[in-house]
C-alpha cells in the first residue's frame, strides 16, 4: 500500500500521522530538520499562550499512552503554559519516537506532482499516485509515490521581509547576511547582550509583542538601552491584542505587557512607518521609511512581520488558494484580517481544505496562509477531519467538533491607512484595545466572547486509491 505522505513533522504533521495510523492508513512523515518540530525548536525559548490540554492532539494521546508516556499538566515554571522546548521534549519528541521509522528527518520535500503528468494534463490525472521529490541530508535525492499528500509544512521557514510591500527593503538581503537584521524572537540571553544598544523591532503581532516584552526587561535594567517598535499601520489599532477580552488569557496578557512597555516609555513606538531601505553603516543598520523618515542607527533589527506559505514545491499541484492570503479559499474566507471582525473564527475541516487536486490537503499553520491567528487546536481538528475523509468516513469528516477561543480583537488591516495617532478600529466594535485599564474595560463591554458554534459541513467523498 502506498503511504500518505505528510510534509513536516511539526505538531500538525505528527498529529496527522497519528490519525492516519489509527485509521489503518500508512503515514510517511518527511521533515527537513534534524529532529521533529524543527520550526518550534527555533522559538523553543518562547512560552506558549495555550495551556497543555490545548496543545495535545487526541489521537496522538491515544498512541502515546500505551508507551508509558505521562500527559504533562504543568510547565517547568509551575504554570500550565509550556515553552516551545517543553512542548517538544514532553510531547512532540515522544510522539515522533512512537511513530518510529514513519518519521524521516533530514528529508526536505522539494516538489509534489502527479505521476507522469504536469499541472496542465487532465487525462487520467486523478487515478495516478502523487510523486514527492525529496532532498536528503546526505546530498542524495529520492522520489516517493504516495496515495495522498498532507502538507503540514507550516510557514515559519518563510518569514515576511521588512519592506512595506512584502518585498525585501532595499539593502535588506545584504543586511540579513551580516546578522544585524534577523527574523527571530530574541532569547533573554541574547536580549541581555544588547544592553546599552539601539534595537529596532519591525512588525505587529504576537511574535513582535514577545520580542518587545523581552527587550523592555533589558531597558528596565539598563535605561541607556533604546528600543524602537516600528508599525506599518497608521494606528496602534489591535497591536496590543484583545487584552481581557481574549479567551486565551495568556495571549491577551502578552499584548498587554507589550502595551505597558510602550505606555511606560520603555519602548518608543513609531507608526505609519513603511520600511523602504535598510542601509548598513559600519556595524549598524539605518532603517528608512518611504516618506523619508530615518530611524537612529540600530545595532540589531528584528523583523517580525509574520510569515507566508512556501508554495514553490507545489507548482505542479492544482490548488484553490485565496488571492490575498494564499490560504485554501474557504479557510481564507474565515480568517482574512481584511474582513474579519471580533476575533471569532469558525473551526475548519476537510470540506474547507479540499483542492481541485483530489487527495491533496494543506493543513496546520500553512492552511491559514498569511493570516497570523492559527492555533494548534484548529489544526488538530483539521487533521482529524481530513484523515477521516481519506479513510472514507464521510460522516466523521463532515462533523466539526471544535469551538475556537475568541481573540477579543476587532478589525484588522482596515485601519491601515487611518491617520497616525488616531485610535480607530475597523470591524464590529470600537475602540480598539488600548494598554490602559480604562480601555480594557471598554474591550470587555464591546468584544464579549463570540465564538462561532460548530456547523456541519457538506462533503463529497473521494475515491480511495
Ligand atoms: C512564537 C510562536 C508562538 C506560538 N504560540 C502558540 C500558542 O501558544 N498556541 C498555539 O496554538 N499556537 C501557537 N503558535 C502557532 C504555532 O506555530 C502552531 O500552533 C504550530 O507550531 C503549527 O504547527 P504546524 O505543524 O502547522 O507548523 P510548524 O510548527 O511550522 O511545523 C512545520 C514543520 O514542517 C517542516 N518543513 C517545512 N518545510 C518543509 C519541507 N519542504 N520538507 C519537509 N519538512 C518541512 C518544518 O521544519 C517544521 O518542522 C505560535 C507560533 C509562534 C511562531
Q: Give Cβ neighbours of residue 128 (< 8 Å, ≥ 6 apart).
A: 114, 115, 116, 117
pLDDT, position 350: 95
What confidence tens digit (pLDDT) does each residue in 324-371 have?
999 999 999 988 877 654 456 788 999 999 999 999 999 999 999 999
pLDDT, position 400: 84
Pocket residue to mutate for ligand 1, from 6, 7, 8, most atoms within 8 A of Cβ: 8
pLDDT, position 241: 65
Question: Quick one: CA dihedral 183, 185, 191, 196, positive or negative?
Answer: positive
Find the range with the poorest average confidence among 117-131, 238-252, 389-403. Answer: 238-252
Q: How confident is the model at residue 453 (pLDDT cuts 50, 70, 90)?
A: very low
Q: How confident is the model at residue 139 (pLDDT cuts 50, 70, 90)?
A: very high
Cβ–ligand 1 distance for 49 under 6 Å, the answer yes
* Measured CA distances, 223 to 65, 77, 109, 219 (Å): 50, 28, 47, 5
Query: What is the chain's mean pLDDT, rounded?
Result: 87
pLDDT, position 448: 30
Closest by alpha carbon to 301, among 434, 181, 195? 181
For residue 40, report the distance from its CA to the centre of ligand 1, in Å. 6
The fold of 4-157+307-398 is FAD/NAD(P)-binding domain (3.50.50)
Find the range with the poorest average confidence among 159-163, 299-303, 459-463. Answer: 459-463
Closest by alpha carbon to 206, among 254, 268, 158, 272? 254
Residue ranges of the domains in the chain? Answer: 4-157+307-398
Is 14 or 345 the better-scoring residue by pLDDT? Answer: 14
pLDDT, position 249: 75
- For residues 155-165, give the mean pLDDT: 97
pLDDT at 237 over 60: yes
- For residues 359-384, give the mean pLDDT: 95
Percent of the chain beyond pLDDT 90? Answer: 75
Pocket residue to mutate for ligand 1, from 6, 27, 40, 49, most atoms within 8 A of Cβ: 40
pTM: 0.88
Find the range with the poorest average confidence among 293-302, 367-376, 440-449. Answer: 440-449
pLDDT, position 408: 61
Closest by alpha carbon to 350, among 316, 402, 315, 387? 387
For residue 365, report the distance from its CA to the centre of ligand 1, in Å. 6
Q: Report the SS3 class of residue 11.
A: helix
List the beta strands (DSSP E) in 290-419: 300-303, 360-362
Using CA positions, which residue lies closest to atom 29 of ligand 1? 10
What confidence tens digit (pLDDT) does each residue in 238-287 have?
667 666 667 777 777 888 899 999 999 999 999 999 999 999 999 999 99
- For residues 175-200, give the mean pLDDT: 97
Atom of ligand 1 nearest to the CA of 36: 49
Cβ–ligand 1 distance for 364 under 6 Å, the answer yes
Q: How confident is the model at residue 458 (pLDDT cuts 50, 70, 90)?
A: very low
- For residues 39-68, give the mean pLDDT: 96
* Measured CA distances, 328 to 264, 301, 333, 356 (Å): 41, 32, 9, 11
Amino acid at each position: 500500500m502506498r503511504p500518505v505522505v505528510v510534509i513536516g513533522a511539526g505538531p500538525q504533521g505528527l498529529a496527522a500521522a497519528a490519525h492516519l495510523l489509527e485509521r489503518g492508513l500508512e503515514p510517511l512523515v518527511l521533515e527537513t530538520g534534524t529532529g521533529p518540530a524543527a520550526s518550534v525548536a527555533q522559538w523553543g525559548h518562547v512560552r506558549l499562550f495555550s495551556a497543555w490540554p490545548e496543545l495535545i492532539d487526541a489521537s496522538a494521546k491515544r498512541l502515546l499512552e500505551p508507551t508509558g508516556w505521562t500527559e504533562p499538566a504543568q510547565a517547568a515554571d509551575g504554570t500550565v503554559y509550556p515553552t516551545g522546548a517543553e512542548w517538544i521534549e514532553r510531547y512532540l519528541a515522544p510522539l515522533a519516537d512512537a511513530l518510529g521509522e514513519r518519521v524521516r528527518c533530514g528529508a526536505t520535500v522539494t516538489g509534489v506532482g502527479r505521476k507522469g503528468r504536469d499541472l496542465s494534463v487532465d487525462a487520467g490525472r486523478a487515478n495516478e499516485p502523487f510523486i514527492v521529490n525529496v532532498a536528503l541530508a546526505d546530498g542524495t535525492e529520492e522520489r516517493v509515490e504516495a496515495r495522498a499528500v498532507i502538507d503540514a509544512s507550516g510557514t515559519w521557514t518563510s518569514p515576511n521581509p521588512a519592506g512595506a510591500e512584502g518585498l525585501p527593503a532595499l539593502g535588506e538581503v545584504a543586511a540579513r547576511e551580516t546578522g544585524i537584521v534577523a527574523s527571530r524572537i530574541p532569547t533573554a540571553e541574547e536580549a541581555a547582550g544588547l544592553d546599552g544598544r539601539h534595537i529596532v523591532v519591525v512588525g505587529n503581532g504576537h511574535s513582535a509583542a514577545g520580542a518587545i516584552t523581552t527587550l523592555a526587561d533589558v531597558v528596565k535594567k539598563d535605561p541607556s538601552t533604546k528600543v524602537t517598535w516600528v508599525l506599518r499601520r497608521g494606528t496602534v489599532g489591535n497591536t496590543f491584542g484583545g487584552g481581557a477580552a481574549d479567551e486565551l488569557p495568556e495571549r491577551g496578557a502578552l499584548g498587554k505587557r507589550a502595551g505597558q512597555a510602550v505606555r511606560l516609555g520603555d519602548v518608543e513606538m513609531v507608526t505609519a512607518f513603511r520600511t523602504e531601505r535598510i542601509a548598513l553603516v559600519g556595524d549598524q543598520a539605518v532603517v528608512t521609511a518611504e516618506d523619508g523618515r530615518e530611524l537612529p542607527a540600530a545595532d540589531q533589527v528584528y523583523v517580525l512581520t509574520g510569515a507566508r506559505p512556501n508554495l514553490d514545491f507545489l507548482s505542479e499541484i492544482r490548488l484553490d488558494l485565496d488571492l490575498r492570503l494564499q490560504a485554501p479559499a474557504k479557510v481564507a474566507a474565515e480568517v482574512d484580517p481584511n474582513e474579519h471582525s471580533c476575533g471569532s473564527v469558525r473551526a475548519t475541516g476537510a470540506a474547507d481544505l479540499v483542492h481541485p487536486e483530489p487527495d491533496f490537503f494543506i493543513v496546520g499553520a500553512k492552511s491559514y496562509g498569511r493570516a497570523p491567528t492559527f492555533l494548534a487546536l484548529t489544526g488538530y481538528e483539521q487533521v482529524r477531519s481530513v484523515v477521516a475523509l481519506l479513510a472514507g468516513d464521510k460522516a466523521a469528516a463532515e462533523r466539526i467538533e471544535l469551538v475556537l477561543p475568541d481573540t477579543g480583537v476587532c478589525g484588522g488591516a482596515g485601519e491601515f491607512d487611518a491617520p497616525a495617532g488616531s485610535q480607530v478600529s475597523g470591524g464590529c466594535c470600537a475602540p480598539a484595545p488600548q494598554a490602559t485599564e480604562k480601555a480594557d474595560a471598554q474591550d470587555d463591554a464591546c468584544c464579549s466572547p463570540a465564538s462561532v458554534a460548530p456547523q456541519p459541513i457538506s462533503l463529497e467523498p473521494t475515491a480511495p486509491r
